[in-house]
Structure 1
């Protein structure tokens, strides 16, 4: 490269699409992923995918990689769920509402009983 010429910019990687989020919220999530040290491009989509996969497992089964060494090959679904809560707190009100709505659809699969049945005893 010759001196004085600007370096070509690297385009940002396109973040994976999360169903249920608007374009504005997706852009806000992408900005958050680029600005936080604990996140990377696509981290929120990966956390949603990990939690969604976990809640669809049969109830008696644990997360499939329970014996895996600490690495990034198999994300812990409980850590993923906690990180989704942290991300929602960092977003704007509208963005947080949209992300919580997406996560709530998966949470409902984890505990599908209506609230009226949860509080009743066995009889």
Structure 2
């Protein structure tokens, strides 16, 4: 289950997880969860975490985000729009709206 997605989009994701060789049952929910957990870490704790090697128990958040981009491209327009809206909330935590550039200064 992914909060914010309709039943139709969840069914579409389940179909993709069954038919794509790079996915498995529950893959999308797991990768959304991995990305959401990563963006909520303190800013100094970025991947790779000091002292830890990549393993099955702690997925690489950047690979998770790339996988979510692939899944978004494989979805219908409506499904992709819903998933992008969910991801945008997490992405905003990682990279908030950019500050305006200064037009004046010593440089």
Q: Give the TM-score normalised by structure 1.
A: 0.76
Aligned to 2:71: 87
User: How big is the alpha-carbon RMSD for the aligned residues of Structure 1 and Structure 2?
Assistant: 1.9
Which residue in the other structure is 2:93 paired with? 109
Provide the rounded CA distance (Å) in 2 between the counterparts of 1:60 and 1:90: 33
Tell me the distance in 2 between the aligned counterparts of 1:50 and 1:94: 23
Higher relative contact order (CA 8 A, sep 6+): 2
Show structure 2 runs of 5+ residues with no match. none
Matches within 5 A, 1:1-123: 17-63=1-47, 65=49, 67-69=52-54, 71-112=55-96, 114-115=97-98, 117-120=99-102
How many residue pairs were aligned? Answer: 104
Instruction: Give the C-alpha shift of residue 65 in structure 1.
Output: 4.8
- Between structure 1 and structure 2, the one with the greater Rg is 1
Tell me, in whole angstroms, the C-alpha distance in 2 between the residues paired with 1:102 and 1:60: 24
SS at match of 2:21: coil
| Runs of 5+ unmatched residues, structure 1 | 1-16
